[in-house]
Structure 1
Amino acid sequence: MKNILKSAFTIAAIFAVLPLIAQQQDIKLPPEATEFWEPVIRKVTPGAQNNLPPSDAIVLFDGNNLNNFVSDRTGGFPEWKVENGAFTVTPRTGDIRTKQAFGDMQLHIEWSAPTVIKGEGQGRGNSGIFLMSHYEVQVLDSYESRTYSNGQAASIYKQHPPLVNAMKAPGEWNVYDIFFTAPKFNADGMLVSPARVTVVHNGILVQNNVEIKGPTEYIGIPNYKAHPAEMPIKLQDHGDLVSYRNIWVRKL
């Protein structure tokens, strides 16, 4: 009986080792076996500089007018001021949003904090970029002003602080390049996959494919609620004279 058991264990051990031996053997394949030619990659012409829109971008603001935006409060034409190739928040007129809706996207947007410095923390050069009108990438003068870490510039507001503080001084232009994956919901409205975002601030990675926990909340815990697959981008009127320019989007 012992010999039979011993033989059985030996056979089992051999079969367990065989896959490892097979993995170590060279698989003789021609180079063509691991090549594929379809689909043919779509051609996109880059901008003359990396901050300029490529050929497949949707330009939301080119320095001339706010025709691609509406007032989030009234649905009418925005009251924010366009001047010198940029536009500036007109305090207490309300947020503005894009006429067009977006889901997965690459967003390029440039912004500047007011040169007249007033206030501290959240009261200093505050605005916000709401992806799909729900998920805020913070805009704030955090150059030399302390606030809670998950509320400073380039944070996913009240969720993820930036990896570093890459702010430029007030009056200088900050650049956000945002790569966003929209949340997915099933037919019953249940969350299938959460939103994710990568943010590059002035050429520096500050959010590395982080998971967004739900819509931005000032108070309380974020919880997802089903919404359309594409929604407008919203820019916040927080009462400060924050300026924006050179805004373009690529749908992904």
Structure 2
Amino acid sequence: MKHQQISAILVLNLLLNVVAPAQTLPPASATEDWSVKPPVVMPGERDMPPSDAVVLFGGKQDLGQWVHLDGSAVKWEVNAEGMTIVPKTTDIQTKRKFGNAQVHVEWKTPDPKEDKGMNRGNSGVFLMGLYELQIYESYNYETRIYYNGQAGSVYKQHVPLVNAARKPQAWQTFDIVFTAPVFNADKTLKTPAYMTVLHNNVLILNHVELKGPMVYQGYPKYEYHESKLPLRLQEHGSRVSFRNIWIREF
């Protein structure tokens, strides 16, 4: 009996230690995707936009792509460097409408002596005219403004990961990847908007979910709107300047 038990144990161990046969892998070509060839885009050289970008404000300093919100011609100042907000003239927006997009904007805040109180280099980039990425003079400051209102914040929604602001009167960049919200056939929200932002080449927002359009007071919520809307720049009483604005839809 003892001999039979030992034999049974040996057989069991042999069965447990049998090496499984090697699986046959599919050929390498089985995982190769040849369905859609990516189009060729020439990257910009020396701060030039990519070859497929829509230049909204470039070297010619032409405001022909923009209007005020009432459709009138833009009254902002244009000079050799770019365009500068003229206070009390209201926001401007693009004549064209956009949805999902990569957006490049260069901006600078004015001499701090020009602004008073909390209104320091105050402006904003509104994706689809609704979702605000804040522009503000945020260099080396403490409690001038709440953190979800400083430069690079999704206004009143998301605080930037870091403060990458340059000194006042220095040119700064926003590189934005914006995914527009999607609505169902019954006009309810299907998927929210998302935003990724690099401020002066530093990642400050990483695919953050937007809670709805910007609101100053109260809490944001989504309401149905078109799948494409104009890009908007805010006039908030400060002489903020802009240059080299371009956009790529995806």
TM over 0.5: yes
Determine if contact 2:139/2:166 at 8 Å carries over to the other structure. Answer: yes
Q: Rg bigger for which structure?
A: 2
Give the distance between the partners of 2:182 and 2:210, measured in 1 at CA.
12
2:167 matched to 1:143?
no
Match of 2:238 among 218, 237, 240: 240
Offset at 1:26? 3.6
Change (3 A) 1:139 1:121: farther
Determine if contact 2:115/2:238 at 8 Å carries over to the other structure. Answer: no
Instruction: Give the count of matched residue pairs.
Output: 229
Residue segments in structure 2 that go unaligned for 5+ positions in a row:
1-18
Q: In the alignment, residue 28 of structure 1 is paired with which amino acid? A: L
Give the distance between the partners of 2:115 and 2:146, measured in 1 at CA.
15
Change (3 A) 1:80 1:30: same
Which residue in 2 is equivalent to 1:60?
56
Residue segments in structure 1 that go unaligned for 5+ positions in a row:
1-20
Determine if contact 1:104/1:180 at 8 Å carries over to the other structure. Answer: yes
Give the distance between the partners of 2:24 and 2:146, measured in 1 at CA.
56
Match of 1:43 among 40, 43, 55: 40
Change (3 A) 1:136 1:121: farther
What SS class does the counterpart of residue 148 from structure 2 fall into? helix
Determine if contact 1:121/1:142 at 8 Å carries over to the other structure. Answer: no
Q: TM-score, normalised by structure 1?
A: 0.87
Change (3 A) 1:194 1:121: farther
Offset at 1:121? 6.8
Q: TM-score, normalised by structure 2?
A: 0.88
Higher mean alpha-carbon deviation, 214-223 vs 117-126, is at 117-126
Q: In angstroms, what is the RMSD of aligned CA positions?
A: 1.7
Deviations 1:188-213 (A, max 9, x none): 11000000000000010000000000
Aligned positions of 1:104-183 closer than 5 A:
104-119=100-115, 122-145=118-141, 146-183=144-181
Deviations 1:104-138 (A, max 9, x none): 00000000000243556741110011100000000
What SS class does the counterpart of residue 192 from structure 1 fall into? strand
What SS class does the counterpart of residue 230 from structure 1 fall into? coil
Give the distance between the partners of 1:120 and 1:135, measured in 2 at CA.
26
Which residue in 2 is equivalent to 1:90?
86
